[in-house]
Structure formats: structure tokens, C-alpha cells
């Protein structure tokens, strides 16, 4: 054992974990930010190309309105054909291209060591472009988030990185993709924090931010400068407006619950069909085509509809028809397992809801309530209120609405928390046999020191004690699971556990041998001022269940030991702080 004293740990404790590899990941993030922008540009142009070919029989990479097509009844067939192609791609290419992308990214992060394949990176944007280009009622953001994530993951797999570092690059690619599509780098970072990272640490936050900023800047060269949905600035909010913003948020929360239920109702309906899932997207596409025949506005991405709602140009029955039509068509198509995003449809549904309700609101204008409805619907359905707030501001550059957005998004978020145990994103992951806890909290092991939980009632034995004598002492009964071994000078030289003794006896050991010969060959120690998480890391890496606690200035002097019970003790204290409630706030003494 190394008996040299180590410096006190106090000066090395920090608010956040520090890792020099942040610099390396940040450099990688710069490259991934550019690659995400290229991916976003390629996807948008591919969608436009397919849309022009299918609906207007021309070759063009300019995004167009699908509502002005002259296909007549043929518009019913086109989305079904697109769905059939996607079904074939999913069955014979990769099943992971099904769905809107974010649940698949979550699965890769949490249960797949952040590894995504080149096949998915190629097929996902292609299938999404076919789906949206043939009239699918989706946005491009979900697919590009997954595509950007795949780019980051594949890039990370080219280097010697840990699963956590690959996660950072995957999320950096996802954030870069969203920033490139919508010119919303801040919202992209918040989306990463609220939905993908499941941590708030510099090692991930800094590279993800860099990727989003790089993508936000690089997009100017290919898409132009934002905002993509500019609106005149609204007046500063007052008390009356805040009250109605609260009501819009509450309504949006309930509609979020209804639309999420509809999506999984249709998914359950498709699962009951006696045909292979490969055919489901075609059936969903047929439903889209029928809806598009009667209400052409439900077809395609619908960015022009978002602008119309924000500008206050859509009211009454027009807005109500769009609300119901888009929600039903989108829910059915998404439930069929086709490929497409959720964000743009949520904006249209929320904006339509706000426009409909604005008729009975005496303050503000239709565009204002459409904006709050969009953000609230996004924040409630995706369970990402902070992302939704900043997203709406970056889309419109209307900072004056910030307080109203805050109350509306949080109200919708609160309603959905009580209405649904899971969001539209995590429900799909749960149905695949996984569980995600989206709450952030401080790990008790990161704030507990060894001295707070260590055992001080020690069983100390001399190194001359025989294995037989120790086994006899253990047979008489003792609460100690481990014995600390000292030499004639009183210095710590080893640790032996009950398990060590039992294994030695079962292996036919020489019972007259000293306990030291059967103790751990390499003694690892911890210190009272060390964080419990660092002590646990030693236990895990050394594959041992207990550690002696020694004085840092005199590392041969034992003052305690910790085992697995110490970890449980720290967790129990945390649970007590969470659940125990005082009977009254004052003392009668």
C-alpha cells in the first residue's frame, strides 16, 4: 500500500466536473455543426424536389404550396404511394426509420451507447423526404434531428471515445440540425438539455452549444438569415393579457393530451390489423390523401400556414377546420409508423387553437394568441416548456411576448403532467420496453462525503492472526462484514471480508496461515473528505465491495470503512429529505 500522504481534497472540489476532453469534443462539435447544416440543406432541397415532381411535374428545389395543385382525386393516391415506399424501405432497409425521429434518438442515447448506423443516417432523411414530399403532414425537424444525431454518432465512432462522449456528439448533431432548419440555436441547446442529454454538465453543454451556434451561423449561407417567421413586435404585456395567456396555456394542455392520445389510438388500431406493418404507412398515407382532397391545407410541411397564423390572417372556421383536419390526419399518419416530424404540426395545431380562441379574447390580436398557442402546444406535448418559449421568440424575434409565453407554456406543461404519465416522445420508447425518467436532480453520491456515512465501529485484527482464529470469531457472531488488518506498529496493511474467509475455506485453504495472506492483494483506500461518488468509482473499477477510510495526513491510520451500506445510507437520506414532512413549522418548547 502507498503510505505517502495525499493533499487535502477540499481545494480540488468544484461546482462542476472538469475534463480536458471538453476541448477535443468542442473541436469535433465545430465539424458536426457544419455537417448538420449540410444535412439540413440536403433534406430541405430533397423535400422540395420531390414535392415539385409529384404535385407539379417540374424539377425545382424551391419549397412550394401544395394547396394549389391540380391533381384532383389523384391527390388521394400520392401519399399512399409514398407510404408504401417508406414501408418497403423500413422492412428491407432499417426499421429505425419509422416514426418521427426523437424517440429513436432517445433510444440510441439511453440504451444503445449512442451508436447509430450509416444506414439509418442515409435512409432516415430519404424516407422523410419521400413522406413529406408526397404530402405527408409532417415537419422536417424530427428527421433532421435524428439525421444530425446520426452524423454526430457516426463521427464519434471514428475515434476512441466513451459512450458518454459519443452521446455528446450525437446530441450536438441533433441540436445543430434543429438550429440549421429553424435558425434557433438557443432553443436547440435547450431542446438538447430538456429532451436528449439528461444532464447539465459542461462536458456536454459546451460542445452542444458550439455545434448549435456553428450550425446557426452556417445556415445563413444556404438558407439566409432569420427569423423565418417574422412578425411585428407586439406591445408589452399587462395583467389582462397574462390572464388570457394562462387560459390559452390550459386549453393547449388539454388539446396536447387529446392529440397525443389520438396518435397512440391510431397506432394501437394499426397494431390490431391482420397485415404486416410494412403496409401500415400506405394505409396512413391513404387517410392523408383523403384528408388532403377535402382540405388541401393539411398536406405537406405547412410553413406558410404558420406564417399566416402568426400574421393574424386566419380566423374562425378557417382556423378551426385546419385545427381538426391537421390533428386527425397527422395523428393517423404518425400512428401508421411513417417517417416525419412532430414540431411543425404541433405549431400549426397550437396556432390554430390560439386563432380560434382569439375571437373571444378582448385584448391582443389573433397573431399574438396563435403564437402563444403554438409555443404552449409544443411545450406541453413535448414536455419542453423552456425550449418552446425560446423557440417562439427566435422564430419571430418578438421578445415583448416573453412573459405571456412563459405563463402559457408552463400552464400547458402543468396540465399535461397531470393528464398523461408520459409525453408523445417518451410514450413510444416506453411501448418498446424502456423507461425514461426525465427529471433532473443532484446525485446524492455527489454531495455526500465519506465521513458522513462511514462505519467507525471497526473490527481490527493483527496480521499474525490465523485464518482459523478469524473464522471462529466470525462463527460466534459479529455485525462486521470486514476486518481491518494492522501490523505490529499499528499500521493498516490489509482488509479481509467474510466472503474472503468463506472462499478460502471452500478452496481448502491452510487454516493456520495468517489472515494477511488471504486479504486483498492490493489495498485501495478512501479518505473522510472524499466525495462518496469518488469512493464508489474506486470500488467499481477495482471490483471490490469495501474500502478502508484512512487519515489523509497519515494514510496508514484506519479511522473507518465504507461498504455498499454506505451507498444505501446516502440514498435513504435523500429519500427522507424528499418525502418526510414536518408536522408543524413552529416548536412548542
Higher pLDDT, 374 or 508: 374
Give the pLDDT of residue 393.
95
Residue 556: predicted pLDDT: 86
User: Residue 589 — pLDDT band, cuts 50, 70, 90?
Assistant: very low
What would the mean pLDDT of 372-398 be, rounded to a whole number? 93
Listed in sequence order, the residues at least 6 apart from 148 whose beta carbon sits closer than 8 Å to its beta carbon are 32, 35, 36, 39, 40, 173, 174, 175, 176, 177, 178, 180
Nearest CA-CA partner of 259 in 325, 213, 205: 325
Q: Is the pLDDT of residue 275 over 50?
A: yes
We find that the CATH architecture of domain 239-431 is Orthogonal Bundle (1.10)
Is the pLDDT assigned to residue 308 strictly greater than 60? yes
Question: What count of Cα atoms within 13 Å lies in the side-chain half-sphere of residue 148?
Answer: 38
Q: How confident is the model at residue 296 (pLDDT cuts 50, 70, 90)?
A: confident
CA distance 293 to 47: 20
CATH number of 444-576: 3.10.580.10
β-bridge mates for residue 484, sequence order: 460, 495
Selection from 258, 284, 406, 283 nearest residue 346 by Cα? 258
CB atoms within 10 A of CB 70: 9
Q: Yes or no: say if 409 and 397 are a contact pair by the CB < 8 Å rule.
A: no
Q: Among candidates 124, 215, 201, 131, which has minimal Cα distance to 165?
A: 201
- Rounded Cα distance, 320 and 325, in Å: 8
Phi, psi of 439 (to 5 degrees): -85, 140
> pLDDT band for position 3 (50/70/90)?
very low
- Kindly report the backbone phi and psi dihedral angles of residue 548, in degrees, each rounded to the nearest multiple of 5, phi listed first: -70, 145
Higher pLDDT, 565 or 437: 565
For residue 514, what pLDDT is reported?
82
Q: Is CATH 1.10.3080.10 what the domain over 21-223 is classified as, yes or no?
A: yes
**Average confidence (pLDDT) over 156-166:** 84
CA atoms within 13 A on the CB side of 443: 15
Please name the residue that has the C-alpha cell 378557417. Answer: 318
CA distance linking residue 574 with residue 249, whole number of Å: 34
pLDDT number for residue 4: 46
- Fold agreement (239-431, 444-576): no
- 508 pLDDT exceeds 80? no
For the chain, the domains span 21-223, 239-431, 444-576
Asked if the model's pLDDT at residue 43 lies above 90, the reply is: no
Percent of the chain with pLDDT over 70: 90
The percent helix, strand, coil of the chain (3-state, each to 5) is 65, 5, 30
Question: Mean pLDDT over residues 476-496, rounded?
Answer: 80
- Please answer whether residues 331 and 389 qualify as being in contact, where contact means their C-beta atoms are separated by less than 8 angstroms: no
Q: Residue 587, Cβ neighbours under 10 Å: how many?
A: 5
Identify which has the larger pLDDT, 199 or 352.
352
For 537-553, letters b (16+ CB in 10 Å) and e give: eebeeeebebbbbbebe
Q: Is residue 484 pLDDT above 50, yes or no?
A: yes
Higher pLDDT, 411 or 574: 411
Write out pLDDT tens, residues 69-93: 788 888 999 999 999 999 999 888 8
CA pair distance 196, 215, nearest whole angstrom:
18
β 492-497/482-486 pair status? antiparallel
> What residues have CB less than 8 Å from 226, skipping those under 6 apart?
182, 183, 184, 394, 395, 397
Residues 280 and 336: beta-carbon distance below 8 Å: yes
Q: Which cell numbers hold the place of 324?
A: 381538426
- Asked whether the predicted pLDDT for residue 261 surpasses 80, the reply is yes
pLDDT mean over 503-530: 80
- Mean pLDDT of the chain, nearest integer: 84
Higher pLDDT, 53 or 96: 53
Q: Which residues contact 319 (CB under 8 A, 6 or more apart)?
A: 309, 352, 355, 356
Lowest-confidence region among 294-298, 410-414, 471-475: 471-475
> Which carries the bigger pLDDT value, residue 520 or residue 564?
564
Nearest to 113 by CA among 70, 166, 161: 166
pLDDT at 235 exceeding the cut of 90: no
- Name the strand (E) or helix (H) holding 331: helix 316-335
Q: DSSP code of 395?
A: H
- Write out pLDDT tens, residues 102-123: 666 666 666 666 677 778 778 8
CA-angle at 265, arms to 261 and 271, nearest 5°: 145
Is the predicted pLDDT of residue 463 greater than 60, yes or no?
A: yes
Neighbouring CB atoms inside 10 A of 322's CB total 25
Query: Which pLDDT value is given to residue 2?
Result: 46
Q: How do residues 322-357 score in pLDDT, each as one tens digit?
A: 999 999 999 999 888 887 778 889 999 999 999 999
Amino acid at each position: 500500500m502507498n503510505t505517502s500522504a495525499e493533499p487535502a481534497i477540499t481545494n480540488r472540489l468544484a461546482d462542476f466536473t472538469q475534463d480536458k476532453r471538453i476541448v477535443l469534443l468542442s473541436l469535433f462539435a465545430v465539424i458536426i455543426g457544419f455537417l448538420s447544416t449540410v444535412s439540413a440543406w440536403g433534406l430541405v432541397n430533397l423535400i422540395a424536389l420531390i414535392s415539385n415532381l409529384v404535385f407539379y411535374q417540374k424539377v425545382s428545389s424551391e419549397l412550394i404550396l401544395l394547396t394549389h395543385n391540380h391533381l384532383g382525386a389523384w391527390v388521394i393516391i400520392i401519399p399512399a404511394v409514398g407510404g408504401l415506399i417508406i414501408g418497403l424501405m423500413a422492412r428491407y432497409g432499417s426499421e429505425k426509420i419509422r416514426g418521427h425521429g426523437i424517440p429513436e434518438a432517445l433510444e440510441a442515447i439511453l440504451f444503445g451507447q449512442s451508436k447509430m448506423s450509416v444506414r439509418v443516417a442515409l435512409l432516415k432523411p430519404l424516407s422523410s423526404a419521400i413522406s413529406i414530399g408526397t404530402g405527408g403532414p409532417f415537419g422536417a425537424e424530427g428527421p433532421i434531428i435524428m439525421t444530425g444525431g446520426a452524423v454526430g454518432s457516426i463521427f464519434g465512432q471514428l475515434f476512441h471515445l466513451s459512450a458518454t462522449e459519443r452521446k455528446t456528439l450525437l446530441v450536438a448533431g441533433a441540436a445543430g440540425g434543429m438550429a440549421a432548419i429553424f435558425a434557433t440555436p438557443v432553443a436547440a441547446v435547450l431542446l438538447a438539455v430538456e429532451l436528449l442529454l439528461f444532464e447539465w454538465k459542461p462536458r456536454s453543454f459546451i460542445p452542444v452549444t458550439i455545434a448549435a451556434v456553428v450550425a446557426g451561423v452556417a445556415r445563413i449561407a444556404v438558407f439566409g438569415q432569420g427569423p423565418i417567421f417574422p412578425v411585428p413586435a407586439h406591445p408589452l404585456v399587462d395583467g389582462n393579457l397574462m390572464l388570457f395567456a394562462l387560459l390559452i396555456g390550459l386549453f393547449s394542455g388539454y388539446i396536447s393530451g387529446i392529440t397525443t392520445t389520438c396518435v397512440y389510438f391510431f397506432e394501437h388500431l394499426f397494431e390490431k390489423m391482420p397485415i404486416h406493418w410494412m403496409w401500415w404507412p400506405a394505409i396512413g398515407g391513404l387517410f392523408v390523401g383523403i384528408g388532403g382532397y377535402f382540405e388541401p391545407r393539411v398536406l405537406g410541411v405547412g410553413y406558410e400556414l404558420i406564417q399566416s397564423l402568426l400574421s393574424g390572417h386566419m380566423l374562425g372556421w378557417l382556423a378551426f377546420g385546419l385545427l381538426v383536419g391537421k390533428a386527425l390526419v397527422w395523428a393517423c399518419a404518425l400512428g401508421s409508423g411513417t417517417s416525419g416530424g412532430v414540431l411543425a404540426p404541433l405549431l400549426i395545431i397550437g396556432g390554430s387553437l390560439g386563432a380560434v380562441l382569439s375571437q373571444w379574447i378582448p385584448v391582443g390580436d389573433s397573431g399574438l394568441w396563435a403564437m402563444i398557442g403554438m409555443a404552449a402546444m409544443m411545450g406541453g406535448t413535448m414536455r419542453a416548456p423552456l425550449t418552446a418559449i425560446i423557440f417562439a421568440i427566435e422564430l419571430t424575434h418578438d421578445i415583448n411576448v416573453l412573459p405571456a409565453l412563459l405563463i402559457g407554456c408552463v400552464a400547458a406543461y402543468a396540465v399535461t403532467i397531470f393528464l398523461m404519465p408520459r409525453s408523445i416522445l417518451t410514450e413510444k420508447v416506453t411501448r418498446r420496453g424502456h423507461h425514461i425518467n426525465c427529471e433532473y436532480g443532484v446525485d446524492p453520491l455527489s454531495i455526500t462525503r465519506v465521513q458522513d456515512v462511514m462505519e467507525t465501529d471497526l473490527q481490527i485484527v493483527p496480521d499474525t492472526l490465523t485464518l482459523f482464529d478469524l473464522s471462529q470469531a466470525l462463527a460466534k457472531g459479529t455485525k462486521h462484514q470486514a476486518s481491518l488488518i494492522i501490523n505490529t506498529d499499528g499500521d493498516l496493511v490489509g482488509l479481509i471480508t467474510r466472503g474472503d474467509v468463506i472462499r478460502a475455506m471452500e478452496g481448502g485453504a491452510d487454516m493456520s496461515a495468517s489472515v494477511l495472506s488471504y486479504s486483498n492483494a492490493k489495498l485501495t483506500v478512501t479518505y473522510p473528505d472524499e466525495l462518496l461518488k469518488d469512493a464508489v468509482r474506486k470500488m467499481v473499477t477495482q471490483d471490490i465491495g469495501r474500502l478502508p477510510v484512512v487519515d489523509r495526513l497519515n494514510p496508514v491510520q484506519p479511522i473507518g470503512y465504507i461498504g455498499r451500506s454506505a451507498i444505501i445510507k446516502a440514498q435513504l437520506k435523500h429519500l427522507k429529505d424528499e418525502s418526510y414532512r414536518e408536522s408543524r413549522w413552529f416548536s412548542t418548547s
